[in-house]
Structure 1
């Protein structure tokens, strides 16, 4: 340990001496050591006066002997001031150096995550804003002459930076050669045709940790140390000197992590049950436990309480926290309470007994069988036809019966003592739906800008109706003879359907549409329609030249107004897109003058509103660089909307067209969106509309290739009507052809998203097709191959749930059927 300390001190002294030599040449134009200051500003110790300001919760703090800037988790950043921009505009050869620590839990894969930015624009776009910048999501340095489409210099590794340890990053440019160094080693080097002075003006927006594109992510949960700007290209020797503190910096950070973990470590007291003693606290910190009375509390947290009537016991637990040779200890003096009498035990267990009855149930309920003090718990349901005594959901009340209340009697027993308590549980009425209808369009050609329907039994896997052809021709309903973004809504009467679409032909340009189409039906087969042209309808409000977009209309019933609200995004020259709304008349043929519904402050399109738990949830896309799906909430549709400013999509690819729907007879909601540059739709699920997890993607080929659309649940009668009108090409609720021939397949059972191997009896070079169907007959997967191998494999889609499926293999003129169990 002494030897390590000596080497560390030597490195620090060596680095200090060498860095003094670097300072002596007056090439250091800006230097932040991040030492805490009385006035809260970030002092430039180079003597050039480029002081910075901490914003949005960013702060200066110490880690051991080192001072750091902590950007925090609330979009914290440092504004280096406009004077710094004048200095940047003078740079020819130059270097920017900084130590970076990114918390391991931080997501840095999305757009943004800039360490430093010197920009002429606060919110650059595709073609506007000149800048130099470095970001960690691709470890990329760029210089632009006008927006991200005109980055004349782009030098990168292409992968995200290392997290969880200090990394020293230097960008240096000598002549037309730019090089990125990480920890003294060349990461990437390429030709750099432009220099900062080529920007031609002082950069006004000079930041550490903040992006210069609207909607991009700030660099969060990141520490910075020793930020420098030089007006020369540093040599490898000079860069090595700047890196000399890395080991000491990482050591100080590890030691501080251990101290922080020790301070945060707690043990419940007094003790009445076994303890959950952690063996790690995250960040690879190990925790070892010791007890001075292991017969009462073991080192593993097993507790043996004193007998009833005996005094409480006192036990000392000692935790030793260790990481990379750094250790800290913390002691806990605990009181172990004696066992209670049987009567005390059942009463305490009764007082602590709780079950989740906040919402009406669609699934089993967890009924505890024992209390913490040793009571056994028996349950009796007064309506076992809905919920069994074990809490298993037997059936939902039939549609029309309404929600049903089930009363459970809980009997707690210990020894000869028993007590009871009743609980009321609401069981949700069966919603009466059997399937899902997806309304969508398929692409940017006029033949694709048509309304199409598809059916699904599970909400994830869809089969197109009408052989994938339109269910109504766009040239019969739209001014532009092409439509996009269909949204379908079931009316409050349960029997009327409203559909709205964008009246647009994309081949005429993305700023070419001036209106939308209103559609109404009582059977989803026959539709009335009215095209609304905004400049014609409201000539005093909209000018055909300045109105550029009327996009993605949707409909929701407003109970406060007693009318159907149609909402959509409007683009006008010189303004960002906002979400507007109008009210429709009873016939759904006219609209009121558009009013602003929501202004996010930047381009906002593709809105979708659902109602849950007394709140309206407005999902939308932030359009532009760094786009994605965000949400705002309000208690009234025309009230004040509160944004959450968090991206909800579970992917890094470009997305648009969010649609939200609730699964049938379930508490789960689905957020789906169009991954329009990647060729698939993605489905995510949530119970609270705030936290989403990925479920699956649609396939990128085949007859179902949806673009921006919506999903609603439908009844068995409605599904039958749609199928009778537009029979699907694939099997839906149709028996499989009878065949006694099977193939050898393995593994069986197979896991969700697993790979299934099919052994073929012979190879005759004939085409082969595989299709997987659910037990209800829904097509889940299809693949065709021209020249099969002896052992063919198929990968099952993630959207499949556990259960029994059927594999149909057609090889030449022979059909084989196999039962597949997915678990």
Structure 2
């Protein structure tokens, strides 16, 4: 169980699913319908979290054009924040409806960064998962909790949720890991429920139990078009090894094909390169698949292994021609994107905002910087990134305002607190957004420079006083000089 304390899950949804049947709203069994293709896929979108930092357990996105080399979106900052449950999420899953008209993100409701111990998280944690919903992949609903494990006797948690559309029943199977006692043994097992709307679910049923004392948290299913390798579905599970199974029915029987021990890869039992969080994807336009594995034991991040025939584990090979981008990517999921989806995503989060420094008007050798999360103006700030910010659209007030996003602390912004300035993690509240938003106006001391007017206290401006940044009313020439800055590269 000690290994469990180092990990939490990810998983992803069969992003390549494309069935013609629309979403059913009842529990009635529907006859399988023939597969129908969405528009051709041209890119890839990864949802992930980054770790146990103040903003690491939130939703991050990355984009790829080839499925192996990734670029962080939103300048490496989170795109969605959980404001429900534990106010943190891990192991996000991206899911598209078969008709391509609705999307969901589901994730573990857990925030270790708040001080929660792994023991408490596993035994007295949330039995809910967090759900976001969208019709266009870029505008998302507020997060909501969905209690999937509450019906399991003695359930301690609900970790690493996954979901997949099941054409045999016309609804979705959500599956996840819960730590509970069964037959006298307490460990993590995989359970499932069915849902048509990600708002109500059936009673939980046991899905996967390896027997003896072996717990299992990470498991993920991918649907393979044309049943390449002999099966329609393949499942990768971190159960001591990275075990590969196959089936023609999501809720039917599964055939064990083997594991990746021939590559020196295991989940601990087999030693070698110890990994977790298997994450499937199919390469666009060809019968080749990649299974990403998180090398958590060494902290090296994801490693891809690829195959053109999943029907035999000996077909997998490791790859070195990949790049994971600037942020560490933990337990996520990959959605294959159509051209229209890719365009919307990149229009929303793909633009790179330039890095700037904020120069003082009356102390032109000094620049705004954060130091131990306090904010001041300083000469030759070191490290240099402490004085580098991206002026992004205001967290409140939109494009009419700006917010100062830290370069070396993604997800952190300059905000006033008691009229003093600090560098703080965005907590998703309206108060934070208002405190971190400012209107750019002509410089109070020199109109060719810039001053920054508070969004929620418009009679106050950012100014330095004793070299420390404050939010003050400006009433004299000294104040006007102190409140004037230049945005420079």
| TM > 0.5 | yes
User: Does the 8 A contact of 1:505 with 1:513 survive in 2?
Assistant: no
Identify which of 512, 518, 521 aligns with 2:131. Answer: 518
1:22-44 Cα deviation digits (max 9, x unpaired): xxxxxxxxxxxxxxxxxxxxxxx
1:462 aligns with 2:70: yes
- Asked if 1:666 is matched to 2:286, the reply is yes
Task: Specify the alignment match of 2:344 in structure 1.
Answer: 721
The one of 300, 313, 324 aligned to 1:679: 300
Do the aligned residues in 2 keep the contact of 1:650 with 1:693 (CA within 8 Å)? no
Q: Matched residues in 1 for 2:234 and 2:303: separation?
A: 20
Q: 1:532 aligns with which of 139, 142, 146?
A: 146
Q: Deviations over 1:156-175 (max 9, x none)?
A: xxxxxxxxxxxxxxxxxxxx
Residues 604, 621 of structure 1: 8 Å contact kept: yes
Contact kept, 8 Å, 2:281 with 2:289, in 1: the verdict is yes
Instruction: Say whether the 8 Å CA contact 2:221–2:235 is kept in structure 1.
Output: yes
- Displacement of 1:645: 4.2
Of 198, 202, 207, which aligns to 1:592?
202
How far off its partner does 1:619 sit? 1.0
The corresponding residue for 2:381 is none
Contact between 2:234 and 2:246, CA under 8 Å: does it hold in 1? yes
Please state how far the C-alpha of 1:642 moved relative to its aligned partner. 2.3
- The 1:699/1:664 distance shift into structure 2, 3 A limit, reads closer
Q: 1:492 aligns with which of 83, 92, 98?
A: 98
CA apart distance, 1:458: 0.6
1:446/1:531 CA distance change after superposition, 3 Å: farther
How many aligned positions are there? 295
Shift in CA distance, 595/697, structure 1 to aligned 2, threshold 3 Å: farther
Say if 2:252 is the partner of 1:639: yes
Matching residue within 174, 190, 197 for 1:579:
190
Cα 1:437–1:679 change in 2 (3 A) is same
Partner of 1:115: none
1:65-104 → structure 2 map (5 Å cutoff): none
Q: Which deviations, in whole Å up to 9, do the C-alpha atoms of 1:90-124 show, x marking residues without a partner?
A: xxxxxxxxxxxxxxxxxxxxxxxxxxxxxxxxxxx
CA apart distance, 1:575: 2.1
TM-score, structure 1 length as denominator? 0.34
What SS class does the counterpart of residue 53 from structure 2 fall into? coil
The aligned counterpart of 2:222 is: 610
Cα deviation for residue 593 of structure 1 reads 1.2
Q: Is the 8 A contact 1:565 1:581 kept in 2?
A: yes
Q: What is the CA–CA distance in structure 1 between the aligned matches of 2:38 and 2:349, rounded to whole Å? A: 28
Give the Å deviation of 1:596: 1.1
Residues of 2 paired with 1:519 and 1:603: CA distance?
Answer: 29
Aligned mates of 1:710, 1:502 — CA distance in 2 = 13
CA contact (8 A) 1:498 1:555 kept: no
1:403-430 per-residue CA deviation (whole Å, 9 max, x = no partner) reads xxxxxxxxxxxxxxxxxxxxxxxxx989
- Counterparts of 1:791-802 in structure 2 under 5 Å? none
Query: Does the Cα contact within 8 Å between 1:553 and 1:569 map onto a contact in 2?
Result: yes
Partner of 1:688: 309
| Rounded Cα–Cα distance in structure 2 between residues aligned with 1:569 and 1:126 | 16
Q: Is the 8 A contact 1:463 1:704 kept in 2?
A: no
> What is aligned with 1:305?
none
- The higher radius of gyration belongs to 1
Partner of 1:725, secondary structure, is: helix
1:479 aligns with 2:96: no
Is 1:501 aligned to residue 107 of structure 2?
A: yes
What are the ranges of 5 or more consecutive residues in structure 1 without an aligned counterpart?
Answer: 1-124, 128-398, 400-427, 732-766, 768-823
